[in-house]
Amino acid sequence: SLCVARHHQAFMALLDEIDILLANEAEIEALLGTDVPDAIAEKLVAYDILAAVTFGADGAHLFHKAARAHVPAQHLTAGDIVDLTGAGDQFAAGFLAGLHQGKAMEAAAQMGINAASAVIRHIGPRPPLD
């Protein structure tokens, strides 16, 4: 979010040039001035992009033109969560892989949530190979 705040005008100009926006709650607030899903939807409807915004334990909110969806996070206990390193990258990887496979945005987001949920259960940014 510090990078977004520091280069706000450049990031706003990019919204006209990109197809997919991936952000977490802090990043979207720095970019759009809000982290409220209804307000995010109002601000993004003017752009022809698919946006996936992660909200930690609340899952991900998806926006594409007038379409919106919410995909809840997996229910994890405090004992399940070991290290948050790599959670955002794993969400992005799963989400983009799902889109590449032709899945709907909700199914792609579920893949991202599954990947992020796997990586936070151990130390380090990569999920175990097993």
Domains and CATH numbers, the chain: 2-119 (3.40.1190.20)
The whole-number pLDDT of residue 64 equals 97
**Average pLDDT by stretches of 10, the chain with 130 residues:** 90 96 96 96 95 96 96 93 92 98 98 95 81
The whole-number pLDDT of residue 130 equals 66
Q: What is the value of pTM for the model shown?
A: 0.92
Q: What is the DSSP track for the chain?
A: -HHHHHTHHHHHHHTTT-SEEEEEHHHHHHHHS---HHHHHHHHTTS--EEEEE-GGG-EEEEETTEEEEEPPP---TTT----TTHHHHHHHHHHHHHHTT--HHHHHHHHHHHHHHHTTSSSSS----
The whole-number pLDDT of residue 126 equals 81
